[in-house]
Amino acid sequence: MFLAIKSVYARLLYPLGDPATGDSKLEDTTLLDSYQDETAAKQIKYESTNATKGELVVESTLRSVKKFQVIPPAIGTDKAKAYKSIRNRVETFLFPSSGRASWDQILDAAGSRGLMIWAEPGTLDRMKEVLLTAGEWREQAGQVLKPPFEEVTAVSIEYTRDAKTGRITTTDIKPFHGDTLYVTEDAKPPRKISHTDAFTSDAMVLVFQLKDSTGKNKEGKPYRIANHIDIKHGFLPSATPSHRTLKIGVVPPDAKVKWTADGTDPANNGVAYPAKGVDVKEGATVKVYAEKASVHAEQTITVPKEDAGDDGDKKVLLDPTKPATLAGKALQEMALVSRMNVHGFLSKLPAGATLVGPRAKIVKAETDNRVAISWDNKTRLTADRLMKAYEFLDHELADAEWELEASSLVFPTGKALIERQKDLSLKIAPGLITQ
């Protein structure tokens, strides 16, 4: 075929584009009589005895007028650099003004527009893969995007939730394409916070919005953290026969709690839950509704019959009118080993309650000094008497912690013991109570 072209035509026509108008027109050039030997890096004169080299003569002619470019496969770390010249033409002449097009559209334009340099088959496909891998082009919804890209702000947040308080604390905040972070807590107005510091909040719904102060990047979607409410419950003895005291705990602790025991909806008909708990009849169904800000939780609780203790112990029926004795082991479980705990315990004991064989002790950990006063098991002291004992001990060893032990604690009535359990939200093992 080349021989036929050579014998008939003296010049080679090829399409060339006008950069000013983008229009294509035919240009002509003299067909060379040699070709480039890539291995030897020199021009070799064409011989009619080797007609298979005619294609290389056409290629060399087009290369001489900068219409054809040979781009070897890219190697090294910066592979995109090898495609710089042809990439510039593709981005300048083949992409539409939107900066995005399907790859088929790009290939069609490369074959039809005179402004495009020709290359070996597969060159454009290889270039596309290299640029996408390097992040210099992007692919989205079946289209290829060239820079500059329309960046969108975003923020990624890792956080923890405290199981006791429900408090949210961020552990890692990663901003993308923005530098100013705002947070909205429930219905409060947004406020600016640092993305480099841990952020703590008791809110139920947190909305983080990242913005670009330069205005260069578009504002993206916010990052939302939805907190939740945990409802827990337990049962304590009641002074009313065939009843139990229902204790409800919620996280966060400041969530408002309402309840009903008549089957109605607690959200609309419930009454506020008291801290001491509520006395409900065995077998009753209690509905609980807790809410904080825009978040709520519900739970339905069936009150079991107190056939036996939760640990399988034999049930102890307390007579509300008779004195009840609490074994000293129960006091050990109350952690009476600090000034705050001991003072709080004594100040809330009901009138008429006495400690049998008490031992009041103060300890200064820094110096390991200890001072104590002990009484035998025939001695019964009220809370007032023991508070005076600690006042005396404080004079002997200042700034020390208090500790308290006793052989037993006698309540004036079974009802007083039951009420004490409610106050402490503490269920005492039946085996530690006698009457």
Indicate if 328 and 416 belong to the same structural domain.
yes
| Domain end position, chosen among 226, 248, 274 | 226
Do 6 and 56 fall within a single domain? Answer: yes
Beta strand segments in 293-400, E: 295-302, 324-327, 354-356, 359-364, 369-374, 380-381
Q: Is residue 317 part of a domain?
A: no
Asked if pLDDT for residue 56 goes beyond 90, the answer is: no
Q: Do 355 and 283 sit in the same domain of this protein?
A: no
Q: What is the mean pLDDT of residues 183-201?
A: 96
Q: Are both 94 and 174 inside the same structural domain?
A: no
Query: Is 74 inside a domain boundary?
Result: no
CA distances from 155 to 30, 207, 219, 266, 276 (A): 61, 11, 11, 39, 44
Residues spanned by the domain of 108? 79-145
Q: Is residue 393 part of a domain?
A: yes
Q: What's the CATH code of the domain at 256?
A: 2.60.40.10
Give the containing element (helix H, strand E) for 210. strand 205-211
Question: Any idea what the CATH number is for the domain that residue 193 is in?
Answer: 2.60.40
The pTM of the full predicted model, rounded to 2 decimals, is: 0.62
Place of tokens 């983008």: 22
pLDDT tens digits for 209-243?
A: 999 999 999 999 999 999 999 999 999 888 888 89
Number of domains in the chain: 5
pLDDT digits (tens, 9 = 90+) for 43-54: 777 666 665 677
Residues facing 301 on adjacent strands: 286
pLDDT in tens, 378-407: 999 999 999 999 999 999 999 999 999 999
Residue 316 inside a domain? The answer is: no
Do 339 and 425 reside in the same domain of the chain? yes
Q: Do the domain assignments include residue 311?
A: no
Q: Are 74 and 66 in contact (CB under 8 A)?
A: no
Both 404 and 352 in one domain: the answer is: yes
pLDDT class of 314 with cuts at 50, 70, 90:
low
Strands 354-356 and 433-434: unpaired
Res. 39 pLDDT band, cuts 50 70 90? low
Q: pLDDT tens digits for 244-297?
A: 999 999 999 999 999 999 999 999 999 999 988 999 999 999 999 999 999 999
Last residue of a domain, one of 37, 69, 101: 69
- Classify strands 68-69 and 118-119 as parallel, antiparallel or unpaired: parallel
Highest mean pLDDT among 28-37, 52-61, 166-175: 166-175
- Residues 17 and 52 both lie in one domain: yes
When pLDDT is averaged across residues 80-107 and rounded to a whole number, the result is 92
Residues 350, 426 within the same domain: yes
* Domain boundary, last residue among 171, 195, 226: 226
Rounded Cα distance, 377 and 375, in Å: 7
Helices 339-347 & 383-396 angle (0-180, nearest 10)? 150
Return the pLDDT at 250.
97
Average pLDDT over residues 20-45: 73
Give mean pLDDT, residues 87-101.
92
Judge if 7 and 61 occupy the same domain. yes
Q: Is residue 426 part of a domain?
A: yes
Q: Are residues 329 and 430 in the same domain?
A: yes
Q: What pLDDT score does 96 carry?
A: 92
pLDDT at 310: 47
- Assigned domain for 21 exists: yes
**Residue 174 falls inside a structural domain:** yes
360 & 418 share domain: yes
Whether residue 139 sits in one domain with residue 160: no
